[in-house]
């Protein structure tokens, strides 16, 4: 698996739809608990854009970025990575374990945000040789190693707090966030309940109208 290509579909990747569904509940709960719900968010290396579309449908202003995969579901919402736009939170799921130098990406993302919410692949039962060209999923030790590397890298680790969860979600942030409350927020049962109880107005109607307007103007027009 080539670097950053973890989201390209393969015959054995059967979680292309269920994965965004599983991640959305925890992401929504974390945003509601610790971040500005009306802020702008980025899904980094977001594959085909399913997660970005999903989060917009439940009311959050998510934008998509993936240089190695076609954006099929979040067209018109390609993120600005130039540094001109700041993001309240960046999500990155099943990405960092495929990078040869994760600190380089962390350094890039911390120029765009103060908080990175990540989740490594869960593939403990797969033999190492079955993940061609990549590495095994990050375990807790690898996450701590990543934090150590981030803290030592120039500029990036300064003022950065590492918040780990008891599940498979992790947070690198410059904000002062209680690890105890973060662990609670990403518990699957709680996040699913909060996902259902705390509803926001979907951005789908607005996005649909914007898509219709773009179609009338022509394919070269941006929103």
pLDDT digits (tens, 9 = 90+) for 25-65: 999 999 999 999 999 999 999 989 999 999 999 999 999 99
The H or E element containing residue 212 is helix 204-217
Q: Give the fold, CATH level 3, of 18-217.
A: Rossmann fold (3.40.50)
Among 5-14, 42-51, 162-171, name the one with the lowest average pLDDT: 5-14
Structural domain boundaries in the chain: 18-217
How many Å apart are CA 7 and CA 11, to the nearest integer?
Answer: 12
How many Å apart are CA 104 and CA 66, to the nearest integer?
Answer: 16
Provide the residue count of the chain: 223
Ordered DSSP codes for 101-163: -HHHHHHHHTTTBSEEEEE----TTS-GGGSTTS-PPP-HHHHHHHHHHHHHSTTTSTT-EEE
Q: What is the pLDDT of residues 88-130, one digit of tens each?
A: 999 999 887 777 777 778 888 999 999 999 887 654 433 333 3
* Backbone phi, psi, residue 171, to 5°: -135, 125
∠ Cα 114 118 122 (to 5°): 170
Averaged pLDDT for residues 196-205: 90
Predicted model pTM: 0.79
Determine contact, residues 51/91, Cβ cutoff 8 Å. yes
The H or E element containing residue 41 is strand 40-44
Q: Which residues pair with 62 in a beta bridge?
A: 41
């Amino acid at each position: 698996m080539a670097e950053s290509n973890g989201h390209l579909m393969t015959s054995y990747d059967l979680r292309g739809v269920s994965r965004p569904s599983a991640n959305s509940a925890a992401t929504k709960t974390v945003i509601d608990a610790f971040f500005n719900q009306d802020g702008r968010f980025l899904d980094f290396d977001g594959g085909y854009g399913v997660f970005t579309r999903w989060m917009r449908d439940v009311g959050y202003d998510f934008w998509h970025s993936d240089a190695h995969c076609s954006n099929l579901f979040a067209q018109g919402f390609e993120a600005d990575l130039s540094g001109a736009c700041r993001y309240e939170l960046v999500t990155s799921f099943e990405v960092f374990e495929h990078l040869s130098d994760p600190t380089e990406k962390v350094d890039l993302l911390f120029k765009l945000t103060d908080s990175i919410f990540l989740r490594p692949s869960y593939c403990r039962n797969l033999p190492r040789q079955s993940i061609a060209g990549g590495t095994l999923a990050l375990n807790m030790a690898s996450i701590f190693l990543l934090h150590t590397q981030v803290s030592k890298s120039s500029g990036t680790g300064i003022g950065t707090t590492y918040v780990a969860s008891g599940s498979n979600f992790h947070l690198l942030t410059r904000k002062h966030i209680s690890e105890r409350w973060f662990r609670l927020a990403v518990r699957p049962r709680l996040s699913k309940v909060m996902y259902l109880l705390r509803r926001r107005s979907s951005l789908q109607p607005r996005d649909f109208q914007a898509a219709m307007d773009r179609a009338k103007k022509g394919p070269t027009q941006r929103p």
